[in-house]
Amino acid sequence: MLVLGIETSCDETGVALYHTERGLLAHALHSQVAMHAEYGGVVPELASRDHIRRVLPLTRQIIDQAGCALADIGVIAYTEGPGLAGALLVGASIAAALGFALKVPVIGIHHLEGHLLAPLLEPNPPAFPFVALLVSGGHSQLMKVSGIGAYETLGETLDDAAGEAFDKTAKLLGLGYPGGPALSMQAGRGVPGRFKLPRPMINSGDLNFSFSGLKTAVLTLAKQQTLDDQIVADIARAFQDAIVEVLAAKSLAALSQTGLDRLVVAGGVSANLQLREQFSALSACRGFEVFYPKLEFCTDNGAMIAFAGAMRIKLSSAKGWKFNVRPRWDLAANGGYP
C-alpha cells in the first residue's frame, strides 16, 4: 500500500511517499526559515499561506520522483496536531480533498508520534519497547514506548522546551534566527568550562525538565561580560553543556526506572552533534543502545508522517475522509488517538 504523508504543523512543508513493502520511495521538504528570519521568528499567517503554495507542487514532485501516479496512492496521512492551527488546516484541507477525489482513507497523525517513530525508518530500527527522548522547539518529553499507540509519559518540561531554550538564548546573545543551529555553531568554537551554568532539576528525583531558569542564568551572565565573539561562543558552549548534561542524566534515569536498554532520541534537537556524541559515548560505557533519525528526518518532515500513517492504518478501520486539527494534543492519552 502506498501512503502519502503531508506535514504542515509549523514552518516546514513536508511530503513523502511510503510503501508498506518497499519502504520510503520519495520525500521533499520546503523550509520557510528565510521568510521568517526577517521577523525574528515564525509568523503564523505567513506560514499558512506558504504551505498553500507548496504542498501540491511538492506532491507532484515526489510522485514523479517515485515513478508513481496519483491514482496509486492508497492512504493519505496528514499532521492533525499539535501545531499552528492555520498551518494544520492547510494540510488537513488538502489531505481531505485528495482523499475525497481519490476515494481513499485519510488519517490524521500526531506530530510527536511521527518524530518518535522516525528512527524506525533506518536500516537498523529499534525494537519495542524502548525509552524515547523527544526534544524539539515545542516539546521535551521522556516516554516509554511499548508499541504503536502504547505510550506512557515518564517526564516532560514544566516550562521552556529544550529547543525553545536554545532559540531564546540565541536571541539573548544576538545570534539571530533560527537560534538553535546558530547557537550550536557558536558552541562548537567555545572553550569548555570557561563559564559554569546551572543544571536545572538534574537532582529533582523525577524525570521532568525545566529550562527557563537556564535561559535567565545566561542573561545574567551575559550582562556581567563585555561580549565579543569568543565570549559569546564560550557562553553558548556553557549553555549547550548544561542542556546536554540534563537531557543525558534524565534519560539514563528513565532507562534505569523502566529497566529498558534501548533509547530513541528524536525531534529537532536530536540533530545536535554534541548531544549525539554524549549519548553515543554513554551507550558505549553503560551498555544500552541508542537510536537516532537521519539528520534530514530530525526536523519536521513528510517521511515520518507517511511512515506513522502506514503503521496507524494497520490498526485502524478508517475508510472515510477525515477533516480535523488539534493544535493541542496529548500523545499519551489513549495512545494519542480517540
Residue 64: exposed, middle, or buried by beta-carbon count in 10 A (0-12, 13-18, 19+)? exposed
| pLDDT value of position 85 | 97
Assess contact for 83 and 109: CB atoms under 8 A.
Answer: no
Angle at which helices 273-286 and 179-187 cross, to 10°: 60
> pTM above 0.85?
yes
Residue 198: count of CB within 10 angstroms of its CB:
12
Residues of the chain with pLDDT under 50: none
Please state, in angstroms and rounded to a whole number, the distance separating the CA atoms of residues 209 and 167: 17
Please state, in angstroms and rounded to a whole number, the distance separating the CA atoms of residues 137 and 269: 8
Which residues, at least 6 apart from 184, have a Cβ–Cβ distance to it below 8 Å? 166, 236, 240, 272, 273, 274
- Topology of the domain covering 128-292: Nucleotidyltransferase; domain 5 (3.30.420)
Domain ranges of the chain: 2-116+297-336, 128-292
| pLDDT value of position 337 | 62
Please state, in angstroms and rounded to a whole number, the distance separating the CA atoms of residues 322 and 325: 10
Which residues, at least 6 apart from 193, have a Cβ–Cβ distance to it below 8 Å? none
| pLDDT value of position 336 | 56
CATH class of the domain at 2-116+297-336: alpha beta
Grid cell for residue 295? 539528520
Do 2-116+297-336 and 128-292 show the same overall fold?
A: yes
